Amino acid sequence: MSPLFTGRRATVAAAATAALLLPLTACGSDDRAADDSAKATGSASGAPKADLTVLAASSLTDVFTTAGAAYEKSHPGTKVTFSFAGSQELAAQVKQGAPADVLVTADTRTMDTLASDTGTPTVIARNRLVIATAEGNPEKIENLKDLADTDLKVVLAAPEVPVGRYGKQILDAQKIDVKPVSQEPNVRAVLSKVELGEADAGLVYRTDAATATGKVDAIEIPDEQNAVASYPAATLKASEHTEAAAAFVAWLSTPEARKILQGAGFQQP
Mean pLDDT along residues 203-212: 97
Beta-bridged to residue 51, according to DSSP, are 79
DSSP state of 225: G
Residue type, 246: A
What pLDDT was estimated at residue 258? 98
Average pLDDT, the chain: 87
The phi and psi torsions of 17 (rounded to 5 degrees) equal -60, -45
Residue 117 has pLDDT above 60, yes or no: yes
What pLDDT was estimated at residue 8? 42
Q: Rounded distance, CA 188 to CA 180, Å? A: 16
At the fourth CATH level, the homologous superfamily of domain 51-126+230-263 is: Periplasmic binding protein-like II (3.40.190.10)
How does strand 122-134 pair with strand 216-220?
A: antiparallel
Residue 88 CA, chain-centre distance (Å), reads 16
DSSP state of 49: -
Q: In the chain, which segments carry CATH 3.40.190.10? A: 51-126+230-263, 127-228
State the sign of the Cα–Cα–Cα–Cα dihedral 117, 120, 124, 129. positive
Q: Rounded distance, CA 236 to CA 66, Å? A: 22
Q: Rounded distance, CA 173 to CA 227, Å? A: 10
What pLDDT was estimated at residue 63? 98
Indicate the pLDDT class of residue 48, thresholds 50, 70 and 90: confident
Mean pLDDT along residues 98-104: 97
Q: Alpha carbon of 12 to those of 191, 201, 267: distances in Å?
A: 83, 92, 76
How does strand 154-157 pair with strand 201-205?
A: parallel
Indicate the pLDDT class of residue 227, thresholds 50, 70 and 90: very high
Do 227 and 166 form a contact (C-beta atoms < 8 A)? Answer: yes
Residue 250 has pLDDT above 80, yes or no: yes
Is CATH 3.40.190.10 correct for 127-228?
Answer: yes
